[in-house]
Amino acid sequence: MAKMKIKSGDTVRIIAGKDKGKEGKIIKVDKKSERVFVEGANMITKHAKPSAANQQGGIIQQEGAIHASNVMYVHKNKPVRLGVKEVEGKNGQVKRVRFAKSTGEVID
């Protein structure tokens, strides 16, 4: 299992599937199954019984999971591949940071 370089809150573009070309923020990341939930993409319908939280019940639209290999991080309005490298920070501490492979720019 490869380490996922995508985090919750990142903006990504979908590169495969029925929602190809759509962009959105990542809501949730499931590291175990290497899947992500992208805001407004891969919408599924779910039938919900009435409960204390949802008095009405009925049919609910919500985001479905997309495999992490089918999304790319968007950096300066372009989809880029991500890499991880170690950078020396303050007091000589080694810190792991993500960077765009095409430009080499550090993302965080």
CATH, domain 11-100, list 3.40.1190.20, 2.40.37.10, 2.30.30.30, 3.30.565.10 = 2.30.30.30
Which DSSP state fits 50?
-
| Tens of pLDDT, residues 26-72 | 999 999 999 999 999 999 999 999 999 889 889 999 999 999 999 99
Q: CA end-to-end span of the chain, whole Å? A: 23
Q: Look at residue 73 and tell me whether its pLDDT is greater than 90.
A: yes
- Residue 65: exposed, middle, or buried by beta-carbon count in 10 A (0-12, 13-18, 19+)? middle
SS (H, E, C) 24-72: EEEEEEECCCCEEEECCCCEEEEEECCCCCCCCCEEEEEECEEEHHHEE
